[in-house]
């Protein structure tokens, strides 16, 4: 679990400085370890949306909603 938290933390730090490619890489690594975390799917979607990869972003937001239909961050 600590490894996932570290990957998310690194991804978020890259997201904050708008380095979307590197952020995406960390979120994808985190998803390999835990595909059932809606937060990670949302972070991945934000990166993809920021990179103009809208269809993929939508798929990630939808995946987040499948895991947690009440997820208010899946936008």
- Which CATH number do you get for residue 29? 1.25.40.10
Q: Is residue 73 part of a domain?
A: no
Q: Is residue 62 part of a domain?
A: yes
Q: Is residue 72 part of a domain?
A: no
Q: Is residue 74 part of a domain?
A: no
**Span 34-62, pLDDT tens digits:** 999 999 999 999 999 999 999 999 999 99
Res 1: pLDDT: 74
Q: Are 29 and 5 in contact (CB under 8 A)?
A: no
Whether 74 shows a pLDDT value over 70: the answer reads: no
Q: Are 41 and 65 in contact (CB under 8 A)?
A: no
Containing structural domain, residue 44: 2-67
């Amino acid at each position: 679990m600590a490894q996932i938290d570290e990957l998310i933390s690194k991804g978020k730090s890259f997201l904050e400085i708008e380095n979307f490619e590197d952020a995406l890489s960390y979120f994808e690594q985190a998803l390999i370890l835990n595909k059932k975390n809606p937060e990670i799917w949302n972070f991945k979607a934000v990166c993809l949306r920021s990179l103009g990869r809208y269809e993929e972003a939508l798929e990630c937001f939808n995946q987040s909603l499948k895991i947690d239909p009440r997820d208010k961050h899946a936008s």
